[in-house]
Structure 1
Amino acid sequence: MTRRSGHLQKASENSSGQKGKITKQRIRRKHQPLPKLECEKFQNQLRLEGVPKPFVPTETPDKGVTTTDSTIQPSLLPLLRSSEDVRVKMVGEEQNNMHSTDFMQRHPRIQPKMRSILLDWLIEVSDAYSLHRQTFYLAQDYFDRFMLTQSNVEKNLLQLIGITCLFIASKMEEASPPKLAHMADVTAGTYYQEEILQMELIVLKALHWNLCPETTVSWLNLYFQTASVSSSFPEDDYLLMIRLLDLCVLHINSLDFQHRVLAASVLSHFIQLETVEKVSGLSKDELQPCVSWMAPFVESVGRFGNATPQGFEKTKDRHNIQTHADYMTMLDDAAQTAVKGDFPTPPNSTEKSSRE
């Protein structure tokens, strides 16, 4: 018995109220194999690459003892001796997981606004299941990186790719991630559980199983905590920063900036630029293009008022729970106040951007 058939049988036995929902899904024709997506070595099975290097005896610095036990392997833990080592490692991780707006040119049938709508929907799903912010930002990172590895993806696959990325991210980040059945349910019966599992394998192979990148929110948290050592900030300020960051990542042009630059630019709208330069290690010249691009978003967030989430009074880390707002309206509002040329208005879903 498959996992799906077992789930449906159990649901029909436990509640007669589910029969309508089950019947509705059964009348949908049996799903067809997903269209073939381009992926480097996609048809090859996962295989171990290379052979472990033989153990080289080394002299221990404290006792001067040399070991020849070939069963002892060198430690795989990174040698981190200072905060600068941590930053260098984070920067290296980001450089290994690049993002680019160029992926839009690889998919002629997908408009920039479709990405905004999809990510806004993923935020809404994250809010519904009280997922952490890092979970959504991991999903966003997976989606953008995956789309760079593909060509000519049909727009009717975007929702499947998006919910699959969120499903993977929730298993990486959450202590109690939503079940596969829940992920299928939020698509309103559009996709089966088996289709999500099939897409999951495609995404994992395309990303080479690199599932622990540094996200924009992880950089912002690092900067915020570092800046908070010398100054204290109210929780509402952090929530406004997060709302600004959420709004910015929905726009396709956010991919023109590195995660650490985007996070530092958000922080610069709330504290002095000199402090931001100190905690981020980025210069004013590196930050200024992103800070200027972000200005219309800042005004839009300011007009939409308080960002304090509701319903999390008993949750100690409520600021880490992803919340949803009317981000699509906020995007339109930011576009209307932007200076022409600095912030191009997202095209309609029936139009293709002429931006090179």
Structure 2
Amino acid sequence: MKSCRNSTKLKLESKPLQQINSRKRHRSDEDSLCKSIEKSSKNERETPKAKRVMHSQTKDSPVLAKQNYLQEDVDKELQSFLTPAKDDQTDAEYDDVIDVSKSKMDENKKVSQYRFRNMMVTELPCLPLKSPLPELSWADSQDLWKAMVNKEMKYQCDNKYMIRHPDLQPRMRAILMDWMIEVCEVYTLHRETFYLAVDYIDRFLSRTENIRKTQLQLVGITALFIAAKLEEIYPPKLADFAYVTDGACTEDEILKLELLMLNKLKWALSPVTVNSWLNVYLQTAHLSFIANASNTFILPQYPQHTFVHVAQLTDLCILDMESLEFSSGVIAASALYHFSSCELATHVSGYEYKDLAKCIHWMAPFAMTVRDTGLQPVKEFAKVEKSDAHNIQTHSNDIAALDMVYERRSQHLTVCSSPTEIAGIITPPKSSQKPMIIDSSHAKRAGVGHC
């Protein structure tokens, strides 16, 4: 009897459920599933987008989430190296290009980013109307000129960035630049290296805030360290750059700030500097004296002393904070105007006089100061070839010359009556000597004259 009862019980338990019960359970499952979906979607709407992306990354790929946390720690450490971190502030406020969406996702997922250009940073500079380059056998001159102009537009910085650094003053920037010129001359660094470093400093300070005056020298030597590695064949060692600071900056501090500076600059390290434009302008100005100009335009074919004299004026102008209001091409063309003529400056630069007029009048006291202090000759260096001596950055100006400029400006002695106040393309004789008589045909070819 006991075995029969057990077998009967097993048969009853093995019977299938009734159809009504299965339908009720199915409906209850659907209702609970719908409620859970509505609850999750409501939470997603209330959750910020950045948190949802991080949650999906952590769930899908724990290794990727760990790497993101490590990268955030490194960024916070580098940022705190210069200024205390703030929770309610991001780096996008100080970038020329603002990214609305900066969330990181897997490579398989596509994220749409909206990019807006900040038009309130500085005024858009005027652009050359035409290309002054000749027909080249190795490249299209129009495309080459257009590429240079477009690159200059991409490397704009805020000319009012000192507002973000209450501890800094424009004179501190001038002292830093003057010291960097001395370092370049000691280590026989090229002029392009110095001008690259100046561009890095200005763009870095325009994208950061609260840099203290005790850290300004570190910013300058780090920018020069990066520029030397890009431009020089045999750049000085890291220990040499730390040595010239007299213990103010260590090697580890330079390396840490180098990484932070490269991130702030977004690895954009090849601007068209004032030195580059000056090379192009002088080469174009002397095309009439060169045979087969289309084939020899690659190598510089102009007098070294002419380049050094014009560069002496641009070096002094770079020390002033107001030089950031003008583009590199305008500064180089205006400096050439003060050494030659209006026709030559507008011809080789592609600008019109109205585009250069503001910079020309601003540069007038600088040009008069250079005339009074005297033009520097081409220096010779032991380990530098004579053909490359003009490309070495020399310390021809100092802070005293800049003070003379400010004194002239305060006394309203800034009227530029003639573009040939200083010299002209040909170096003038001394005041004790008689003026040189220039042949009219030669003067016409060189573009010496007045507007």
Tell me whether the two structures share a fold, i.e. TM-score over 0.5.
yes
Partner residue, 1:293: 362
Aligned residue among 117, 122, 141 for 1:83: 141
Indicate if the aligned counterparts of 1:309 and 1:323 stay in contact, CA closer than 8 A.
Answer: no
Where structure 1 has 5 or more consecutive residues not aligned to the other structure, the ranges are 1-31, 52-79, 344-356
Partner residue, 1:317: 388
Change (3 A) 1:204 1:40: farther
Asked if residue 168 in structure 1 is aligned to residue 226 in structure 2, the reply is: yes
Aligned residue among 144, 159, 172 for 1:114: 172
Partner residue, 1:242: 311
Deviation at 1:176, TM superposition (A): 0.4
Indicate if the aligned counterparts of 1:136 and 1:169 stay in contact, CA closer than 8 A.
Answer: yes
Aligned residue among 58, 61, 83 for 1:35: 83
Indicate if the aligned counterparts of 2:346 and 2:352 stay in contact, CA closer than 8 A.
Answer: yes
Partner residue, 1:21: none
Indicate if the aligned counterparts of 1:126 and 1:323 stay in contact, CA closer than 8 A.
Answer: yes
Give the fraction of aligned pairs with identical amino acids, expressed as a percent: 42
SS class of match (1:209): coil
Change (3 A) 1:35 1:324: same
Change (3 A) 1:203 1:306: same
Q: How many residues align?
A: 281
Deviation at 1:275, TM superposition (A): 1.8
SS class of match (2:339): coil
Partner residue, 1:63: none
Deviation at 1:340, TM superposition (A): 5.4
C-alpha separation in 1, matches of 2:240 and 2:335: 33
Deviates most, 172-181 or 313-322: 313-322
Asked if residue 253 in structure 1 is aligned to residue 337 in structure 2, the reply is: no
- Comparing both chains, which one has the higher relative contact order based on Cα–Cα distances under 8 Å and sequence gaps of 6 or more? 1
Deviation at 1:338, TM superposition (A): 2.3
SS class of match (1:195): helix
Deviation at 1:310, TM superposition (A): 3.1
1:55-108 deviation line (CA, Å, top 9, x unaligned)? xxxxxxxxxxxxxxxxxxxxxxxxx95212111111111111103321111111
Task: Specify the code of the residue in structure 1 equivalent to 2:371.
Answer: G
Indicate if the aligned counterparts of 2:191 and 2:392 stay in contact, CA closer than 8 A.
Answer: yes
Partner residue, 1:332: 403
What is the TM-score of this pair, normalised by structure 2? 0.58
SS class of match (1:101): coil
Aligned residue among 366, 377, 381 for 1:308: 377
CA-based RMSD = 2.6
Partner residue, 1:5: none
C-alpha separation in 1, matches of 2:82 and 2:209: 15
1:322-347 deviation line (CA, Å, top 9, x unaligned)? 0012421111111222255798xxxx
Task: Specify the code of the residue in structure 2 equivalent to 1:172.
Answer: L
1:284-325 deviation line (CA, Å, top 9, x unaligned)? 000011011101111111111231143337622100000012
Change (3 A) 1:272 1:186: same
> Which structure dedicates a bigger proportion of its chain to helix?
2
C-alpha separation in 2, matches of 1:93 and 1:152: 29
C-alpha separation in 1, matches of 2:160 and 2:331: 18
Asked if residue 156 in structure 1 is aligned to residue 227 in structure 2, the reply is: no
Asked if residue 275 in structure 1 is aligned to residue 323 in structure 2, the reply is: no
SS class of match (2:406): helix
C-alpha separation in 2, matches of 1:197 and 1:227: 42
Partner residue, 1:211: 269
Indicate if the aligned counterparts of 1:244 and 1:297 stay in contact, CA closer than 8 A.
Answer: yes
Aligned residue among 137, 161, 168 for 1:103: 161
Task: Specify the code of the residue in structure 1 equivalent to 2:362.
Answer: W
Change (3 A) 1:50 1:248: farther
Task: Specify the code of the residue in structure 1 equivalent to 2:393.
Answer: Q
Change (3 A) 1:114 1:49: farther
SS class of match (1:269): helix
